[in-house]
Amino acid sequence: IILRVWFKNRQKTFHNINQKDVMQRLQSGRHFLQIPGPTNVPDRILRAIERPTIDHRGPEFKGLGLELLESIKEIFQTKQPVIIYPSSGTGAWEAALVNTLSSGDRVLMYDTGHFASTWRKLAEKLSLDAQLLHGSWREGAKPEEIEQALVEDKDHTIKSVCVVHNDTATGITSDIPAIRKAIDRAGHTALFCVDTISSLASIDYRHDEWGVDVTVGGSQKGLMLPPGLSFNAISKKALVASGEAKLPRSYWDWQDMLNANKQGVFPYTPATNLLYGLRESIRMLLEEGLDQVFSRHSRLAEATRAAVQAWGLELNALNQSEYSNSLTAVVLPQGHDADVFRKWVLECFNVSLGNGLGRLNGKVFRIGHLGDFNEPMLLGTLGAIEMGLELAEIPHRPEGVRAAMSNLVENNR
Ligand code: PLP
């Protein structure tokens, strides 16, 4: 009650004074960026990025380029080439399609959530014939449905199967090895493209071992970098397909990239300072060890879910085996607006939570627990959420933080 009165009084003050100034004065301490990407950028990376920009065709840059193009492979768990674009993740989505397909080609996509359906819209704009297998947005891609669609495609007119590994809108992770097996069981020749934008460097992902042809990645989530870099890890089969693909491409052309990359440079001006950051990010991830990175994400995600369940709120993900370890999407009880709740949390406690996207707008909020993140940061986030639930008068049991703490103690023993 005291908090609610304080907040309401403060809201009144905002009407009289310039709101932005007040926010800046009142919100001391560090902002908690707990959306599921962009994520918190650690100081080591910020310091790496702030170095002066160098000549991107000079000898020093070539050393950086060669080092990065080799070391990034470890993050994708591949020995094959990884293309680095100065773009957001959407660019890498487009690159994966224009390099491997021709106008009118059929593409099989699975509607796991907002990001899968956005990728499909992009494919249609590129004049591809995108076929969407419908999903509930509460479960992952179903391998048996993909297998069935491929078995029915006797003439192999489907040229690519595209799946989002971790749909950031729904908090659901699909089983990529199981989908690979389904494609193989169908005896189909389609390429397999996977979006790992919100799973790379936070949830185990193996480009080579899992037989993926094009893996799409982005800088602003598990890699702990600002937005602005994106990736295509490519298989030999994808490279062969790129030789036959007819969709127009210039900026995204793999071949121009691969030719320049042999010398450690890029065909156009790279995002040099983000590349400094990428070098630091890879060093940090490898120092911690990828296995430890994945288990830290798993631990923090489990504690988050323990809190949600203790509050008596509903997880958007229905199946335990598909719970995302990089974010949790929480469904609010009917009649409560998730965006109003998020506003309380932001304005009172300086914590940004993710909004519901697409058809989940207003119905869910999302807790990002990926990237440079640890137990005290999680507890701060969960504490702000628990107070926000009370302020927004959302029915819940005030036991979430306690449950998360017990879970973390158990998992750290
Ligand atoms: N795919 C997924 C799974 C995402 O989470 C996002 C963005 O959050 C995208 C694609 C689009 O990437 P970007 O916004 O960097 O263009």
pLDDT digits (tens, 9 = 90+) for 371-402: 999 999 999 999 999 999 999 999 999 999 99
The string of pLDDT tens digits covering residues 192-226 is 999 999 999 999 999 999 999 999 999 999 999 99
> Cα–Cα distance between 336 and 129 in angstroms, integer?
39
Mean pLDDT of 353-376: 97
Rg (CA), the chain: 22
201 Cα–ligand 1 center, Å: 15
The alpha carbon torsion through 125, 238, 173, 175 (nearest 10 deg) reads 130
The string of pLDDT tens digits covering residues 283-305 is 999 999 999 999 999 999 999 99
Q: Are 223 and 280 in contact (CB under 8 A)?
A: no
Ligand 1 atom index nearest CA of 220? 15
Mean pLDDT of 88-115: 98
Helix ranges (DSSP H) in 77-210:
89-98, 114-125, 143-152, 176-185
Q: For a substitution probing ligand 1, which of 198, 366, 370 has the most ligand atoms within 8 Å of its CB?
A: 198
Q: How far is CA 153 from the centre of its chain?
A: 31
Long-range (24+ apart) CB contacts under 8 A made by 183-188 are 183/146, 183/147, 183/150, 184/211, 185/147, 186/147, 186/150, 186/151, 188/150, 188/151, 188/153, 188/156, 188/158
Ligand 1 atom index nearest CA of 227? 15
Q: Which residues line ligand 1 (CB under 6 A)?
A: 37, 88-90, 115, 164, 168, 195, 197-198, 218, 227
Give residue 182's pLDDT: 98
Give residue 1's pLDDT: 61
89 Cα–ligand 1 center, Å: 5
Mean pLDDT of 343-356: 97
Mean pLDDT of 58-77: 98
Is residue 9 over pLDDT 80?
no
Give residue 10's pLDDT: 57
Is residue 408 over pLDDT 50?
yes
Is residue 17 over pLDDT 90?
no
Give residue 28's pLDDT: 86
Nearest alpha carbon, ligand 1 atom 9: 89
Count of residues for the chain?
A: 413
Give residue 73's pLDDT: 98
Is residue 13 over pLDDT 90?
no
Mean pLDDT of 61-81: 98
Residues 6+ apart with CB under 8 A from 187: none
Is residue 227 over pLDDT 60?
yes
346 Cα–ligand 1 center, Å: 23
Mean pLDDT of 160-189: 98
115 Cα–ligand 1 center, Å: 7
Q: For a substitution probing ligand 1, which of 87, 168, 193, 360 has the most ligand atoms within 8 Å of its CB?
A: 168
223 Cα–ligand 1 center, Å: 14
Q: For a substitution probing ligand 1, which of 93, 111, 115 has the most ligand atoms within 8 Å of its CB?
A: 115
> Cα–Cα distance between 303 and 310 in angstroms, integer?
10
Mean pLDDT of 61-85: 98
User: What's the farthest any 2 CA atoms get from each other in the chain?
Assistant: 69
Is residue 101 over pLDDT 70?
yes
Is residue 15 over pLDDT 50?
no
Residue 28 or residue 36, greater confidence: 36
Is residue 22 over pLDDT 60?
no
Over pLDDT 70: what percentage of the chain? 94
